[in-house]
Structure 1
Amino acid sequence: MKKINRFFWFCSGAHIDTLKKYPIEHNKYVGIGATIFFTALFASLSGGYAMYFVFSGNAFAVGFAILFGLLWGTAIFNMDRYIVSSINKEGSINQQILQATPRILLAIMIGVVISRPLELKIFDKEIRQKLKTAYLKGQHTKIDSLQRTYNQKYAQEIVKNNDLKKEKDSLERDINRSRYELNQEVFGDKTNQTSGIIGYGTYAKQKADVLKEKQDRLKVVTDNLGQNEQYLGQRKDYEGVNSTRLFSEKQLDSLANVAGFADRNWALGQLSYNVDGSRDLDTYMAISFIGYLFILFECLPVFVKLMSPKGPYDTAVAKLAEANIHFAERDKERDINVTDSTYDHNLEADINRRKQIITGQSEYDLSRHTYD
């Protein structure tokens, strides 16, 4: 437990030698250090997961994710440690709040950054389904757009093709009717369109000529229609109309698996809305509370430091800082002509006086101190 406590003291940014002298402050800084450590741990997992998707499919994706996760977690750890340790408890409450405000804003930004990749992992199943729906809808839109462009670009050819189809259908019906009438004329069936005389006579010959004329026209129309359809088919291939198809379920799964960070982040945002565009309150609250939790977790060390009363450790650290500042200023003003022997003697005495002031074993008055 001593090693664990010492580790969390280090995480909190406390001056360990000074903190050891005040047992009443030990638990507070263990809590602060543990919060900073676990925040950095979550940041490491979050950053590694985000980097894994950046290099998804690469053979070194896992290695890159681990490396970036460690670097990102270390950066967040160092930043949190500095934020907490730099809050000065010597000022008034308003001064402390003013001093902590930029740090709180920075902590909020860090909380948002580290929470997003973890939210993507938590809602992975819902995100995949949303992506598949979006990809299928996008493919529908693409096909419709290609078809509209094709229809507009080749409108004249399409109209001509339709006219040829109509003429062909009309000719085929007329040919069937003319062929039937010719048979009636040849076999002597009496109708309004036939003479009723058996044999291949004058009327039969006329009807045969009309039938042949229609058949010749049908052949021309059929040839023209075939050429026109072949041309339009080539244009469809060129414009991509024929090659563009709706995605199969297997293709949609594959696309969702290789989706990038931006697509997944977009899909996560869309989970908060229904199909009609209205807000899905339940999903929105679930996603939001996860983000709020990490933001609170990131700000918690700062809040603990602000809410905690000024303790003996804070007073000792302030006294230590004041002593170091005083001696630094005095060293700066020391006469450069002091001999080496005198300087060494005074330096040794000076070190002893500093130790006495820091440890509280002397009532040395800083304001009256002069250098011999």
Structure 2
Amino acid sequence: MNLSPFEIAVTDEAIDDLQRRLRNTRWAWLTPADAWQQGTDGAWLRACVEYWAERFDWRAAQRALNRLPQFMAEVNGQRVHVVHRRGVGPKPYPLVITHGWPGSFFEFHALAERLANPAAFGASPDDAFDVVTPSLPGFAFSPAPAAPGTSVFQVADLWVALMRGLGYERFGAQGGDLGAGVSVALAARHAPHVDGIHLNFLPSSFEPAIGPGDAPMSEAEQAFVRAKADWAALEGGYAHMHATKPQTAAAALNDSPAGLAAWIGEKFRAWSDCGGELERRFSKDELLTNLSLYWFTQSIGTSMQMYWENRLQPFRFAAGERVAPPVAFAHFPHEISHPPRSWLERVFNVAQWTDMPRGGHFAAMEEPDLLAEDIRRFFRRFR
């Protein structure tokens, strides 16, 4: 594996072009409706666009990002952007953390600090991690695969090669959203290298087989399956678009930063424990740093491609099939789905289950202290 240092360098021309597009936004005529009832609220979007154009300082955000130890790895013919943060402690444990959509490697900036240097946050240095945070292929600075076919399963294969190239023969994995899918695929396909996985989301396509000798679905499991279908019908339009017509959506979102802000901003509000007020959880600068990564890398279209690939390669387990490495699950109350423990136990050895007091889909940004402590607790058994 080839590894070289990486530094973000967005040109002045790209920044000027973004600001021009924002200032020249052609605003849609909207039928009067309650705020956020029919999607992104127009008043919020106008304020977001104005701040992005006139007050957001990308150069300051870029300097902060470039303080992270970033690299570009060449792994099995695929270039992968990765942040590799060495732990501060007597024997850091290697952990690969994978983001999802509409997140990015930036999503983990606060969590990674707490994991790599726990003593700085009042925890034991014995719990330090070497934190590896790659960008999924087609997200941010990881180029899209040259050919179709890369789902979370192929990403898991890449991550094993990446971790071994960094010197880690055995390691742990953590993730939510698409990152949960990659982590499950790591455990299912690469048990000799993966000690255990920590999840704060269950992949939407996860479906255990229920054979003649298995217990029938419980009431809680049946309620979960119904709730998941109801959510997909009312809230899953974005995912259906990504999974069936990603290139149509990409044409619009790659051309309009206001459209990109609407598409992504609405998800941060709907999926987080923010009580309807985005800035209770995320500052404008945090939201716009993440948005700007999508914009400047022109990766919104390639990021959606993962949904297409995952639809063609869903998680399906045969009757009696088990995933060997143990699993921890952190259940945040404002997550978008709430599987019962028994649903996971049909396939996994659930070694740790935590019902969190608060937090939502973007747990690493919303509740980094809670998530970090849960991760520390689970992986102590492998040190």
Query: TM-score normalized by structure 2?
Result: 0.19
Which structure ranks higher in relative contact order (CA pairs < 8 Å, sequence separation ≥ 6)?
A: 1
In our comparison, the structure showing a higher alpha carbon Rg is: 1
* Structure with greater proportional strand content: 2
* Structure with greater proportional helix content: 1
Query: TM-score normalized by structure 1?
Result: 0.19
